[in-house]
Amino acid sequence: MLPFSPRHEYMRIAGEKVDDQSRMEIRFPYTGEVVGSVPQASSQAVEQAFATATAYKAHLSRYERCKILQTAGELLGQRRQALAQLITAETGLAMQDTTYEVDRAKDVFMLAAMETLRDDGQAFACDISPHGKQRRIFTHREPLQGVIAAITPFNHPLNQVAHKVAPAIATNNRLVLKPSEKAPLSALALADILYEAGLPGAMFAVVTGSPNSFGDLIITHPHAELVAFTGSVAVGKAIAKRAGYRRLVLELGGNDPLIVCADADPLRAATLAVQGSFKNSGQRCTAVKRIFVHHSRADTFVAEVLRQTQQLIYGDPYAPETMMGTVIDEAAARQCEQRVSNAINQHGASLLWGHKRQGALYAPTVLDHVPHTCELVREETFGPIAPIIRFESLEEVVAMSNSTAFGLSSGICSDRLETINFLTQQLQVGTVNVWEVPGFRSEMSPFGGIKDSGLGVKEGVVEAMRNYTSVKTLALPWG
Ligand code: NAD
């Protein structure tokens, strides 16, 4: 079944493979087979990772950094199939999703390579007011004094890591990563690709396992100057409380709406709803988690969502025709099942398709007439569910959309400028995508949320390079 034999893996510290006393197994969610094991890091291992990173000062030129990033991007491209197979093994995501993920990670490295060559300085003339002087102020950006501590989730186990490490390399920083304990194998494969591309080992360490055995050390370590976390709201807020005086980049959960307005083509909108709800098994922070449709378009729209969902092939993640694989584990599938049952039995939602579970495999599920207050859509439900909520007015849809704690992204289906303007102004979100799924982005562009989805500090290669640097100002007597 698996296209490779199980991997007995190690951490990566100073470019070396490092073991620890206990291990944890990683399983293929579709069959439960063991696909590998990784060390459960002890506090000593985390200390060692920070010590080697702290002792090293990176002095790579822009050209050298660009070459490393570009070579890593090329290697990702060459090993696309093998990496996709590895991500599928640890997540149960369909190969169609995981090859797309490898392509996106390649983009991150290629674009970071380009961005590395761009001059990050500015110049300010100072003789610009009556009390000015014939001087000039120059700025440039410097890497952090300390180390970046990065923590990533399971749902895009390669690309989330790429978004942390590529900007760190581009800015001559050192980074210690703790990937998700549910899907750490692709992060280790990426580390090896980076070393092969010429990255000094001390610039990137990977410690594995769950935080149980090393506690808060990664986020409270005295040499961790910045904590870059992507994951759930609960963990993100707990980290924010404990991290203390250091920089924080928090990319947290989402509950993104797709809003289908009265003027929208319902068939085109249905294609976006299906893509947005089921891609990556619905496990994207920016998956479509609530579908609002104007009542005048609802019947045609719902029929088309149903038709397209019925054609989705789901099941064996390795079968080339499979469009959707499993969620991360049986517990996650059970949570989807339980929230859908609750929406149907307690809140009167109508089940149109799906709601069948076999282990970690949960069928693509479509529900109509979902009350916007039920747990299924009030909380983030991380799985392949398309819950449809009908609305009458733009004011009503704005109120419903803004009524949750989240504020990540959104999609709007409308051709009317007035409607687009109104919704863009009113929606409490970090991104508005017109005629696209909420998850649409370029790896370069700013990405991130507000409210419980984040503190407004964005990621994306350009923003991350800013976050990972300090501006140094130099003033010279120079007219
Ligand atoms: P999670 O919060 O459970 O875990 C994320 C990471 O945090 C894992 O590596 C985990 O080991 C670590 N962690 C857990 N407890 C910790 C603690 N006390 N201290 C330090 N680290 C700790 O998230 P998940 O289930 O892996 O991922 C799904 C979540 O991530 C969803 O909420 C999703 O929306 C969110 N997400 C957000 C974005 C974004 O860019 N906004 C992107 C992807 C995923």
Model pLDDT for residues 394-436, shown as the tens digit of each residue:
999 999 999 999 999 999 999 999 999 999 999 999 999 999 9
pLDDT digits (tens, 9 = 90+) for 58-93: 999 999 999 999 999 999 999 999 999 999 999 999
User: Are 385 and 260 within one domain?
Assistant: yes
User: Is 419 within a domain?
Assistant: yes
In the reported structure, the alpha carbon of residue 151 is separated from the centroid of ligand 1 by a whole-number distance in angstroms of 8
How many structural domains are present in the chain?
2
Alpha helices by DSSP H, listed for 279-414, are 295-310, 330-347, 375-378, 394-401
Q: Find the helix or strand (DSSP H, E) in which 472 lies.
A: strand 469-476
Q: Please give the residue range of the domain that contains residue 67.
A: 10-252+455-473
User: Are 287 and 247 within one domain?
Assistant: no
Annotated catalytic, 285?
yes
Query: Which of 406, 30, 475, 116 has the alpha carbon at shortest distance from 234?
Result: 406
User: Are 320 and 202 within one domain?
Assistant: no
Banded model confidence at residue 235, pLDDT cuts 50, 70, 90: very high
pLDDT (average), residues 444-449: 97
Banded model confidence at residue 345, pLDDT cuts 50, 70, 90: very high
In sequence order, the β-bridge partners of residue 204 are 175
Neighbours of 386 (CB within 10 A): 31
User: Is 448 within a domain?
Assistant: no
How many helices (H) and strands (E) the chain has is answered by 15, 22
**Where residue 156 sits, what CATH number does that domain have?**
3.40.605.10
Annotated catalytic, 181?
no
Q: What single DSSP character describes residue 250?
A: E
**Burial of 57 from C-beta contacts in 10 A (0-12 / 13-18 / 19+):** exposed
In the reported structure, the alpha carbon of residue 51 is separated from the centroid of ligand 1 by a whole-number distance in angstroms of 25
Could you please report the per-residue DSSP string of 359-382? TTEE--EEEES--TTSHHHHS---
Alpha helices by DSSP H, listed for 122-265, are 159-170, 185-196, 217-220, 233-243
User: Is 479 within a domain?
Assistant: no
The rounded distance, in Å, linking the Cα atoms of 98 and 186 is 11
Which residues line the pocket of ligand 1, CB cutoff 6 A?
A: 151-155, 160, 178, 180-181, 210-211, 219, 230-232, 235, 238-239, 251-254, 285, 380, 382, 408
Q: What pLDDT, on a 0 to 100 scale, did the predictor assign at position 2?
A: 87
What does the mean pLDDT of the chain come to? 97
- Quote the pTM value: 0.98
Which two tokens mark 175?
């980074």
User: Are 460 and 394 within one domain?
Assistant: no
User: Are 226 and 323 within one domain?
Assistant: no
Ligand 1 atom index nearest CA of 180? 9
Which two tokens mark 75?
């290697």
Catalytic pick from 101, 115, 251, 380? 251
User: Are 53 and 189 within one domain?
Assistant: yes
User: Is 131 within a domain?
Assistant: yes
